[in-house]
Amino acid sequence: MSWWPIALIVFGVNFTVWAAIGLARLIEETWRKRSLRKKLQQRGYGVEPSITVQDVAVLIPAHNEELVIKDSIEAIAALVPRCNIHVVSDGSTDRTVELAQQAGVNVISTRTNVGKAGALEEAIDRFDLVDRFRAVLLLDADTAIQPGYFDAALPFFDDPKVVAVAGAVRTRHERGLSLIGKVLVCHRQRIYAISQRLLKYGQTWRFTNATHIVPGFASMYRTSVLPYIEMNPPGLVIEDFNMTFEVYAKRLGKVAFTLGAVAVTQDPDNLRDYIRQIKRWGLGLWQTVRRHPPRLTLFSAMLTVLLLELLTSSMFFVLLPLLVVMLAVPAVYPEALSWPGLATVHTDVAEHMNLRVLLLAVTGADLALTCLVAVIERKLRFVALWIFFPFLRVLDAAVALYVFPKAWLSSTGRWTSPARRTVLERPALAGRVAVSAAVTAPAPKSVEWVE
């Protein structure tokens, strides 16, 4: 087997296809904007979006967020009027509610502990957001909206077909992280950087409209579609995949995305939290796919190819260590081939693979991705850590396959993710006060699954 099919699996078929479409979008939009601006200047108009920040409600679900809630509110209050900000506390046992009230924003508490999706649903109803506002920004307490977010995102709502604008996610890179923390955070930023440019940008062109995720912690929805979206179906461990799939399944409209609407979030800095998080994302994805059978739409076609590659590359990455061991051990210890069965498998594998070609193809293609990210982010640290990323991809792959059958374990009746019941203590991070996350599920950061 030659190197290039392995390299393609590692680099990604979906990336290659959607990046090409993204390039078309870049060219088309640059050209269109230039001609539009010229036209507007000739007629003496300014460009004023039809929805302004006055029309945007901010909704922050919170569970025991006393350490960050005040700062979060102050940060977002710099961008939208204070009376537009709404906090819904779900089962908080600390001073979250009191601090939010002191900050002068709208605050309610859920009557019983209902989870994040339930809290959002209840808050939209009780605050009457659908009637009072034209758009709602769903925001997590540990996520920081960057200045310029609304300027970049709101004009998309001028197109009446656009019902959601996905935010561009960045991970916060704190100083003083351990090596594993650095690796995890860089790995996550690598995924964000690549998948948002090579995947989502092409998927959300006005001619394409087929993206699998509108991140549920930093994105805006047009309020008029919310009543049509089933936000809190029983059994789902995360809500944002499902909200996205609902938009497409019910043909509610288009999803827009711009790299200019940036939200900075915090990602796990230790292996335990990281694995817990990707388990929940993976399970949430499979559960959501199970709830939404495919149709004859571009979205379903996109999803089929995306998931097929996610599964194929996951299987490949899970098999990769086995393949390497299979090829390397007999080369060093020939006697290993006398173990029953091994010789036959080794022959089969050696027929199609060569250790050098395999390793060069995997590390080469992965390093190409890393270098791309280093250029995009203008940060050399990605290149410095290049050797670790393939190992994390093996981990991601193993978890994605591990949680796959669990999509069937919660089929009927009300089932709540165990994660929502456990209080996860996020460890204190240097330079930032500890965030205690959540019975309400520590806001699942939207996932860009395929890498």
Partner 1 sequence: MTKTSIEPRRPDVPSPGGRRSLRLRLLGGSAFLIVLFLGAVALLVTVPRMLGSGDKPATLVVASLPFWNLTEGPNILATNPGTFNEVSPWIYGLARNGRIVAQAPEVTAQTRDGMDRLRKLGIPVVPSIANRTNGQWAYEPLADILHDPAAMSRHINDIVALVQRENYAGIDIDYEDLPATDRQVFTSFITDLASALHDKGKVLTVALFAKTSDAGEDQRNAGQDYAAIGAAADEVRLMAYDYHWSESPPGPVAPMPWVRDVLTYAKSQMPADKIVLGVPLSGYDWVDGKGEVVTWIQSYGRTSKYHATVQYDRLSESPSFKYTDEQGRQHEVWFENADSTALKLQAAKAAGIRGVYLWMISSEDDRTWATVRKIIPLHPTSSGEGTSR
- By beta-carbon proximity to partner 1, the closer residue of 345 and 384 is 345
Q: Please, which residue, 75 or 353, has the CB nearer to partner 1?
A: 353
User: Is the Cβ–Cβ distance between 388 and 187 less than 8 Å?
Assistant: yes
Nearer to partner 1, 99 or 120 (CB): 120
Shortest approach of partner 1 to residue 161 CB, angstroms? Answer: 5
Shortest Cβ distance from residue 201 to partner 1 (Å)? 22
Closest to partner 1 by CB, 141 or 307: 307
User: From the CB of 53, what's the least distance to partner 1, in Å?
Assistant: 21
- In the complex, the smallest distance separating the C-beta of residue 171 from partner 1, rounded to whole angstroms, is 29
| Nearest CB to partner 1, comparing residues 1 and 383 | 1
CB burial readout 26-56, b (16+ within 10 A) else e:
eeeeeeeeeeeeeeeeeeeeeeeeebebebb
- The residues pairing with 255 across neighbouring beta strands, listed in sequence order, are 164
Alpha-carbon span 446 to 284, nearest angstrom: 10
CB of residue 359 to partner 1, shortest distance in Å: 14
Collect all residues with Cβ–Cβ distance below 8 Å to 3 and sequence separation of at least 6.
357, 360, 361, 364
Q: Which residues contact 128 (CB under 8 A, 6 or more apart)?
A: none
- Separation between Cα atoms, residue 178 and residue 254, nearest integer Å: 41
314 touches 224 (CB < 8 A): no
In the complex with partner 1, the residue whose CB is nearer, 48 or 335, is: 335
* Smallest separation (angstroms) from partner 1 to the CB of 342: 8
- Residue closer to partner 1 by CB (options 129, 137) is 129
Compute CA distances 380 → 185, 371, 372, 383, whole Å.
14, 9, 11, 5
255's enclosing H/E stretch is strand 254-265
In angstroms, give the least distance from the CB of 235 to partner 1.
10
CB-nearer residue toward partner 1: 307 or 395: 307
Nearer of residues 23 and 301 to partner 1, judged by Cβ? 301
| Cβ distance to partner 1 smaller for residue 26 or 318 | 318
CA–CA distance, 349 with 437 (Å, rounded to integer): 46
- Among 404, 397, 408, 405, which residue's Cα sits nearest to residue 291? 408
Could you tell me which of 78, 74, 63, 77 has the C-alpha nearest to residue 114?
Answer: 63
Smallest gap from residue 256 Cβ to partner 1 (A): 13
Smallest gap from Cβ 29 to partner 1, in A, equals: 21
Distances (CA, A) of 90 to 20, 26, 260: 43, 42, 31
What is the binding site for partner 1 (CB under 8 A)? 1-2, 5, 130-131, 160-161, 163, 223-228, 230, 251-254, 286, 289-294, 304, 307-308, 311-312, 314-316, 319, 330-331, 334, 337-338, 343, 346-347, 350-354, 357, 404, 407-408, 411
How far is residue 61's CA from residue 165's CA, in Å, rounded to a whole number?
19
Nearer to partner 1, 65 or 246 (CB): 246
Please say whether the dihedral angle defined by the alpha carbons of residues 200, 205, 211 and 217, taken in this order, is positive or negative.
Answer: positive
**Min CB(153)–partner 1 separation in Å:** 18
Q: Do 166 and 447 meet the contact criterion of CB atoms below 8 Å apart?
A: no
C-alpha dihedral (332, 335, 338, 341), degrees to nearest 10: -20
Report the nearest approach of partner 1 to the CB of residue 288 (Å).
Answer: 9
Q: Which is nearer to partner 1, 48 or 351 (CB)?
A: 351
Tokens at 45, concatenated: 């108009």
CA angle 57, 60, 61 (to 5 degrees): 135
Please answer whether residues 143 and 62 qualify as being in contact, where contact means their C-beta atoms are separated by less than 8 angstroms.
no
Nearest approach in angstroms of CB 138 to partner 1 is 17
Tokens representing 29 are 């939009």
